[in-house]
Amino acid sequence: MNLDFTPEERAFRDEVRDFLRTSLPDDIRRKVLAGLSPSPADIRLWQRLLHRRGWGAPNWPERFGGTGWGAVKKFIFEEECATWGAPPQLAFGVKMVAPVIVAFGTPEQQQRHLPGILSGEVWWAQGYSEPGAGSDLASLKTRAVREGDHYLVNGQKTWTTLGQHADWMFCLVRTDPEAKAQRGISFVLIDMKSPGVTVRPIITLDGAHEVNETWLEDVRVPVANLVGEENKGWTCAKFLLGHERANIAGIGGSKRALARLKRIAAAEWKDGAPLADDPDFAARVAQLEIELMALEITNLRVLAAEADKRAPGPEASILKIKGTEIAQGISELTMQAAGVYAVPFDRAAMSLDFPGERVGPDYAAPLAATYCNLRKLSIFGGSNEIQKNIVAQMILEL
């Protein structure tokens, strides 16, 4: 694989940099580079700005408003956005449900839902996991009974990320309770304003309201909101999970976090010398950087496969495993570099405009919360242990 950009690709990189320099709001950039989470308003605004530029959906076909970029341009775009401190696009809409609607949806569904995702006007959530069905997703119990031109949906979904902001949720439901495992599951789109939908917060270890439990009680869902065929929603689910696991790799974000780690390690002192000069610590940073470089190459291979209209295969599981391990490793070393200042955290102090006095340097304020939050990476999107089984079955044929 030739890792050198062509003159055309270098020109595109300069174009992306110019756009980010002139269009990325400074308050959002400072927030992201400081390791703070962008707000829903920040994410919506950034999606609108990308849409106006024609870059709102790098992974969509052009006929649906996508960019038509090849694998390398997608890679350059993601890399530059992360480097400059742009917030990530909301994956549930642009990168997850939209490709499913493009691949399996009806023309009516495509016309109704894709424009709102592209413009940032419509926020989507994912309704996959249940209290008794996480990595073993095929054991889900949420039931959808057809009554004329509607389904009556009852059940509970959990870990609904940012569901408190969602307008719509794509959801896996069981339409044939007699079928085994993956059979009898359907993929439906649910309006979160429908009567019977209740979203209750789950406060995580870092004190944030990021995830929720979602109750569905006699929710009427039009049959027109069924994507693909009834009882064959597992096909859609696998397609979507492949995209989710590829996106979880988070290479751009990890490169930004790695650069931040190096800056902190160069500033923090241990026995009169910067921690970056400690051989053991430097070796651990170097190992993470090597692994991240290898992950980039694998990511490019997955993007190239998508360009050939092949859904992500076992490579997506590899990206998910290594991407999450690297992100966690960087956060652990960043905590070590900041020392005692990384331990306490106050959510109010994590604001860039915090009027009070922080304990320690400004950059240390979000480190403990970030460390706690990133513990989830090895679980969501299919636990890493399950992903290793997938790799063994699909590649090693075990």
Tell me the per-residue pLDDT of 143-152, one tens digit each, with 9 for 90 and over. 999 999 999 9
CATH number (1.10.240.10, 1.20.140.10, 3.40.50.720, 1.10.3720.10) of 249-396 reads 1.20.140.10
pLDDT tens per residue across span 347-391: 777 777 777 777 678 888 888 888 988 888 888 777 888 888 878
Taking the CA atoms of residue 381, residue 382, residue 383 and residue 388 in that order, the dihedral angle to the nearest 10 degrees is -120
Q: Would residue 244 show up in a list of annotated catalytic residues for this protein?
A: yes
pLDDT exceeds cutoff 90 at 318: no
* DSSP 3-state of 381: coil
What's the confidence (pLDDT) of residue 154? 98
Let me know if 152 is exposed, middle or buried by CB neighbors in 10 A (0-12, 13-18, 19+).
middle
Angle between helices 40-53 and 26-33 (to 10 degrees): 120
Smallest Cα–Cα separation from 59: which of 244, 255, 289?
Answer: 244
- 332-358 average pLDDT score: 80
pLDDT at 113: 98
Indicate the domain borders of the chain: 7-89, 124-232, 249-396
Per the rule left: phi > 0, alpha: psi between -120 and 50, beta: everything else, 198 is beta
pLDDT at 274: 85
Q: What percent of the chain has pLDDT over 70?
A: 92
Same fold for the pair 7-89 and 124-232: no
Q: Is the pLDDT of residue 52 over 60?
A: yes
**Average pLDDT rounded to a whole number, residues 315-331:** 89
Report the C-alpha gap between 164 and 381 in whole angstroms.
20
pLDDT band at 270 (very low <50, low <70, confident <90, very high): low
CB atoms within 10 A of CB 380: 19
CATH level 3 topology of 124-232: Butyryl-CoA Dehydrogenase, subunit A; domain 2 (2.40.110)
Partners of 157 in the β-ladder = 214
Which residues are CB-neighbours of 283 under 8 A, at least 6 positions away? none
Pairing mode, strands 124-127 and 168-174: parallel
Q: What are phi and psi of 193, to 5 degrees?
A: -90, 0
Class at the top of the CATH hierarchy for domain 7-89: mainly alpha
Between 309 and 231, the higher pLDDT residue: 231
CA distance 323 to 311: 19
Residue 48 has pLDDT above 60, yes or no: yes
Q: Which of the residue ranges 33-47, 69-83, 158-172, 313-327 has the most confident prediction, judged by mean pLDDT?
A: 158-172
Query: What residue type is 370 in one-letter code?
Result: T
Catalytic residue from among 130, 244, 306, 315: 244
Q: Looking at residues 107-131, what average pLDDT do you find?
A: 96
Considering only the C-alpha atoms of the chain, give the largest distance between any 2 of them, rounded to a whole number of Å: 75
Mean pLDDT of all residues belonging to the chain = 89
**Token code pair at residue 287:** 């190992």
Length of the chain as a residue count: 398
- Per-residue pLDDT, 309: 58
| Alpha-carbon gap, residue 117 to 110, rounded angstroms | 10
Q: Say if CB 172 and CB 186 are below 8 A apart.
A: yes
Ranking 91-100, 211-220, 223-232, 294-303 by mean pLDDT, the lowest is: 294-303
Q: Give residue 178's region: left, alpha or beta (phi > 0; psi -120 to 50).
A: alpha
Q: How far apart are the first and last CA of the chain?
A: 29
* Per-residue pLDDT at 2 exceeds 60: no
Calpha distance 215→141 (Å, rounded): 12
The mean per-residue pLDDT over the stretch 257-275 comes to 83
Which tokens belong to 181?
Answer: 């495992």
At residue 384, the pLDDT reads 82
Give residue 54's pLDDT. Answer: 96
pLDDT at 312: 58
